[in-house]
Amino acid sequence: MAPPTSDDDSLWLRRFHPQPEATVRLICFPHAGGSASFFFPMSEEMSSGIEVMAVQYPGRQDRRTEQPVESVQELAREIHTVLTRWTDLPIALFGHSMGASVAFEVARLLEQESGIVPAALFASGRNAPSQHRSNEIHLLDDNGIVAELQLLSGTDSRVLGDLELLRFALPAIRGDYKAAETYRYVPGPPLRCPVVGLGGDSDVRVDVEEVAAWGDHTSGTFELQVFPGGHFYLSEQKAAVVNTVSDFLTARNPITLVPSPGVAGG
């Protein structure tokens, strides 16, 4: 049974394919400029024992009238508040690019403030928190940001080719880049949950060594998975990524979580 929901839940979380028999929930965090729908294919292909829920950040699609959140920590705190109502099942976190930083900060809040250890953190296409990069893409003009999107090929080509759509999307994209690029890791206790670092072998923005450094941020197990492709390798390697996540979560008994007070199914 799903826990009781609020209006905030439907704003922040998208549940494309409900799985009544699921034994774990995979919460997915999009990249800068991305939306929850980026994870629709993953949700569609995931095994029935894993229910995928994708985070929708403010400032895009049906939340386009809202101001983007320009701080990773602030974004994480908002999402953490919502997620504590969904801990009737163990939860795992999957973040791509900027989303990996957000997922990491959510995992810290879950462990340190809610006493909830995630089943796993999957950190994709992002340098480890301690491996800061000083990119300043959010300070570029609109043409510069579009050039970066074209380099990474992470935004729907139909949007890049439609100036009207792009005009609406750029404020959210710029806000996300600001959040990602101004994020600074604050040292603290390592995570207790297992961490899996994922990356593309030809990513122009993140080296495999920077992904491997995620292992420094957990006292649990760490695995590194490298796939053929660039920054958005997971679009081309969808089946392999889904299998990696599914195999990891089903090969072990998920960590027993402590449900938050008042959550159904606890």
97 noted as active-site residue: yes
217 noted as active-site residue: no
251: Cβ contacts below 8 Å, ≥ 6 apart = none
Catalytic residue among 97, 101, 124, 260: 97
First-last CA distance in the chain: 10
Question: Tokens 């510069």 — which residue?
Answer: 144
CB atoms near residue 189 (< 10 Å): 10
Q: Which residues are catalytic?
A: 97, 231
